[in-house]
Amino acid sequence: MNRRDFVTMLSATAVTKWASLETAVQAAAAPLKQLADQKGLMFGSSLALKYFEQSPAYKQLFVSQCDIATPELQMKWNSLSRQPGIYDFSTADQLVAFCATNRIKVRGHTLVWHDSLPVWVPGQLSPVTARTVMLDHIQKVAGHFAGKLYSWDVVNEALDPGSQRPDGLRSNLWLQNIGVSYIEQAFRATAAADPKALLVWNENYLEVSNGFGDAKRKAMLNQLDALLAKGVPIHGVGLEAHLRGDQANVLGDASYEAFLSELTQRKMKIFITELDIQDSSLPADVGERDKIVADIYRKFLTASLRQPAVKGVVAWGLSDAFSWISGYRPRKDGLPVRPLAFDINCQPKPAYFAIAEALEAAPRRV
Ligand code: XIL
């Protein structure tokens, strides 16, 4: 009997006390990190220690489910530095220490991005200064954590077909002031500061199978070809996968799988880095909503994990109690959002079982 059937059976039998049903359901919910590990994969989540103060149950859930984590905020530039050149690593250090204690790998996130900059950064950028500002930041931050992180998201969301450039790059502050070489420089500087970390280009919407996604995928492959030909140390690509529940038809199809093969041919390690499913415009009925969300998790992850170059899955949160979607894409009807694998009481939802099934169906990595 598979896990989902077991839980359905538990719900259907005469388990009189709600508490004992909950315990039984939780016992049936094998840790996702364990299911992943059986296939040579990693499973994890974004992490912010402040949530553990609000919910000790969440802390327990996190440690039991995850063997890799991405700081949700703590390594972003605006979290580390409020004034020019002055850095406070204390909160990020706590997170790294927590992960070390609990044998959780850390994905450094993120060094060069157009978002989450402290107010002082844009004010200091000019074609004369920008290169130094960026390289100083990389040396300080990647240097500080050197040897302690599994990987770095060196550049984040650097593509944007909306910028209308032939190369598909986002016309952000770095590109405007340094030029297209900012990407190469960022990767080389990170490799020098932390030679052990795996260096990743993290990007959104590479997984959607519409015209926008096509343009992104094409730009990504062109960028990789140019950078790799020059020997730029880029080891992996992160697919954020902030998916939308109302776009089930454009996810995990043939063009996506072909793209993963193209990345594989370029010897990239691939990571799903920020997985969640927005249920903001889905029906109000919880059963119906949870089913749509779970089906997308299953479809997307099954397609992704079929490819051996995909090494791990990181969700953008584990419990619906602590999801950025409640602020970023709230429901118009005011109902709480349900984008993640576990509910607000840290109990597994259909999404959990869908993720578990996809991990169980994945070929074992060698
Ligand atoms: C988000 C956080 O979850 C929010 O709390 C914060 O307000 C904004 O950033 N792409 C990324 C992540 O690479 O860092 C973003 O995280 C979500 C989109």
Give the pLDDT confidence of 37-94 residue by residue, as tens digits: 999 999 999 999 999 999 999 999 999 999 999 999 999 999 999 999 999 999 999 9
Task: Average the pLDDT over 214-240 and give the result.
Answer: 97
Task: Convert 225-248 to b/e letters by CB count within 10 Å (16 or more is b).
Answer: eebeeeebbbbbbbbbbbbbbeeb
CB of 156 shorter than 6 A to ligand 1: yes
d(CA 117, CA 107): 19
pTM of the model: 0.94
Instruction: Give the type of residue at 81.
Output: S
CB of 153 shorter than 6 A to ligand 1: no
Work out the mean pLDDT of the chain and round it to a whole number: 93
Which of 70, 274, 319 for mutating ligand 1's site (highest number of atoms within 8 Å of CB)?
274
Q: Which is nearest to 341 in space by CA: 349, 330, 332?
A: 349
Share of residues in the chain with pLDDT > 70 (%): 91
Residue 254's pLDDT band (boundaries 50, 70, 90)?
A: confident
Residue 267 CA neighbour count, 13 Å, CB half: 10
Residue 317 alpha carbon, nearest atom of ligand 1: 3
CB of 240 shorter than 6 A to ligand 1: yes
Residue 26: what pLDDT? 54
- pLDDT > 50? residue 261: yes
CB of 324 shorter than 6 A to ligand 1: yes
For residue 15, the CA-to-ligand 1 centroid distance in Å is 41
Residue 2's pLDDT band (boundaries 50, 70, 90)?
A: low
Which of 115, 154, 322 for mutating ligand 1's site (highest number of atoms within 8 Å of CB)?
115
For residue 76, the CA-to-ligand 1 centroid distance in Å is 9
Task: Report which DSSP code applies to 162.
Answer: G
Q: Which residue is catalytic, options 157, 203, 207, 240? A: 157
- Contact of 340 with 58, CB cutoff 8 Å: no
Mapped onto helix, strand or coil, the DSSP state of residue 284 is coil
Task: Report which DSSP code applies to 364.
Answer: P
Residue 76: what pLDDT? 98
Residue 76 alpha carbon, nearest atom of ligand 1: 14
* Sign of the torsion formed by the C-alpha atoms of 342, 348, 354 and 357: positive
Q: List domains and CATH numbers for the chain.
A: 3-361 (3.20.20.80)
CB of 62 shorter than 6 A to ligand 1: no
> Which residue's alpha carbon is nearest to atom 13 within ligand 1?
156
For residue 275, the CA-to-ligand 1 centroid distance in Å is 12
**72 belongs to the catalytic site:** no
Within 194-313, residue ranges assigned H as helices are: 211-229, 254-265, 286-305
Mapped onto helix, strand or coil, the DSSP state of residue 326 is helix
**288 belongs to the catalytic site:** no
Residue 210's pLDDT band (boundaries 50, 70, 90)?
A: confident
> Which residue's alpha carbon is nearest to atom 16 within ligand 1?
72
Cα–Cα distances in Å, from 107 out to 44, 96, 279? 10, 10, 26
Residue 360's pLDDT band (boundaries 50, 70, 90)?
A: very high
For residue 329, the CA-to-ligand 1 centroid distance in Å is 12
Q: Is 52 left (phi over 0), alpha (psi -120 to 50) or beta?
A: alpha
Residue 4's pLDDT band (boundaries 50, 70, 90)?
A: low
Residue 157 alpha carbon, nearest atom of ligand 1: 13
For residue 72, the CA-to-ligand 1 centroid distance in Å is 7
- pLDDT > 90? residue 114: yes
For residue 202, the CA-to-ligand 1 centroid distance in Å is 12
Beta strands in the chain (DSSP E): 42-47, 68-71, 105-112, 151-156, 198-203, 236-239, 242-244, 269-278, 310-315
Q: Which residue is catalytic, options 203, 207, 274, 357? A: 274
- pLDDT > 60? residue 123: yes
Mapped onto helix, strand or coil, the DSSP state of residue 218 is helix
For residue 204, the CA-to-ligand 1 centroid distance in Å is 11
Copy the structure tokens of residue 101: 């204690």
